[in-house]
Amino acid sequence: FTQLASEIRQCSDARDFDRARQIHRQVLKSKHLRQDDATYLANLLLEAYGRCGSVEEAQRLFQALPLPNVFSWNILLEAYAQNGHLDRARSLFDRIPDKNVVSWTTMIKAYGSSGLMDDAKLLFEIMPVRNLVTFTGMVKAYAETGHTLDARELFDSMPERNLVAWTVMLAAYSQTWHLDEVLALFARIPEREVVSCSIVIGAYSARGRMREARELFDSMREGNVVTWTALIAGYAGRGDLEEARSLFERMPERDTVSWTSMITAYAQLGHLEEARALFDSIPIDRRDAVVWNSMLYAFSRDGCVAGMIETLRAMPRPD
């Protein structure tokens, strides 16, 4: 079971639908499962299907469950929400027999990410129990729909706040052009850890304020790949390719996002050969759609149509 469970989790992470189905069949064959163990595995499979975008498969599995628990309901709800089936989500939500705070919070988030803040707010107001996650999710929904003032008002009214809540509010301001609000909130944040620092570095970088970005970066005990990439993007945006490259080469680890940022920097500053060399150094299984796109962009910036065509042909196609 632990074996099966961890394999299913891997499918979720890797978005491996075929493998998930394979394990699904395997689970159906094993006959000595206790009811709650079966539900447990089914929930993991539901999540995997949802994350692979297979709403129909998730629904089929759910309907076959003899005894779905509230987790099963919530996971299917999340799958609908994540895949844009707002109406199905709502009708499922209305049928959940014992909704818990997670059910409510998931439904609110679904409305929020569809831009339906009035519906989100209504649910938020009538729900029986709200917790920190509910409040934070609602603040984030306001922020993402551009309602920064409402986000702040709700944030200020929260009965308690943790670091995540503060960080969401900080990120909300960093999306606006109010650097002063970002800094004011950052000055009051209870703890400056890597996420909040990265947001502020990103806010400085986006505005070309590299002196301040660098100062904060240097004051950190250690950044992670996100922090480094935010700074690199800032230098690249200012046209300081040397500093961007030097940081890129010194950063402790690189991922698809940092690769893409650097390729895009090379592309924008007219260094096609370096963009291409970097692209070629990326392991094939790490090249996601945005990485490919950045290479396409590099060729297009260079006016190299042949390179674009070559890239398009080499790109893996979804079948």
Partner RNA sequence: GCCAAGAGGU
Q: How many CB atoms lie within 10 A of CB 209?
A: 16
N-to-C CA span, the chain: 33
Q: Which of 86, 158, 225, 269 binds RNA (CB under 7 A)?
A: 225
Q: If binding is defined by CB under 7 A, does position 71 make contact with RNA?
A: yes
Binding piece for RNA, criterion CB under 7 A, among 70-78, 151-159, 178-186, 304-312 = 70-78
Binding piece for RNA, criterion CB under 7 A, among 41-49, 52-60, 118-126, 308-316 = 41-49
Nearest to 207 by CA among 235, 249, 188: 235
Q: Which of 213, 264, 271, 275 binds RNA (CB under 7 A)?
A: 264
Interaction pattern, residues 123-142, with RNA; x per rule: CB under 7 A: --------xxxx-xx--x--
Q: If binding is defined by CB under 7 A, does position 43 make contact with RNA?
A: yes
- What's the closest the beta carbon of residue 287 comes to RNA, in angstroms? 8
Cα 100 to the chain's mean position, in Å?
A: 24
CA–CA separation, 158 and 144 (whole Å): 18
For residue 69, what are the contacts with CB-CB under 8 A and spacing of at least 6? 39, 43
Which string of b and e fits 68-101 if b means at least 16 CB within 10 Å? beebbbbbbbbbbbbbebbebbbebbeebeebee
Q: If binding is defined by CB under 7 A, does position 290 make contact with RNA?
A: yes
Q: How many CB atoms lie within 10 A of CB 294?
A: 23
Binding piece for RNA, criterion CB under 7 A, among 16-24, 32-40, 58-66, 306-314 = 32-40
- What's the closest the beta carbon of residue 255 comes to RNA, in angstroms? 5
Q: If binding is defined by CB under 7 A, does position 158 make contact with RNA?
A: no
Binding piece for RNA, criterion CB under 7 A, among 15-23, 226-234, 273-281, 309-317 = 226-234
Is the Cβ of residue 16 or residue 223 nearer to RNA in the bound state? 223
Helix axes of 256-268 and 241-250: crossing angle, nearest 10 degrees: 160
Kindly report the length of the chain.
319
CA–CA separation, 46 and 209 (whole Å): 45
Q: Which of 52, 55, 58, 75 binds RNA (CB under 7 A)?
A: 75
Binding piece for RNA, criterion CB under 7 A, among 40-48, 150-158, 214-222, 239-247 = 40-48
Which string of b and e fits 149-180 if b means at least 16 CB within 10 Å? ebbbebbeebeebeeebbbbbbbbbbeeeebe
- What's the closest the beta carbon of residue 39 comes to RNA, in angstroms? 6
Q: If binding is defined by CB under 7 A, does position 241 make contact with RNA?
A: no
Interface size with RNA, residues (CB under 7 A): 65
- What's the closest the beta carbon of residue 260 comes to RNA, in angstroms? 3
Q: Which two tokens stand for residue 241?
A: 């390719």
Residues 169-208 touching RNA, rule: CB under 7 A, are 171, 193-196, 198-199, 202
Rounded (to 5) percent helix, strand, coil in the chain: 75, 0, 25
Residues 79-118 touching RNA, rule: CB under 7 A, are 100-103, 105-106, 109
Binding site for RNA (CB under 7 A): 1, 36-37, 39-40, 43-44, 47, 69-72, 74-75, 78, 100-103, 105-106, 109, 131-134, 136-137, 140, 162-165, 167-168, 171, 193-196, 198-199, 202, 224-227, 229-230, 233, 255-261, 264, 288-291, 293-294, 297
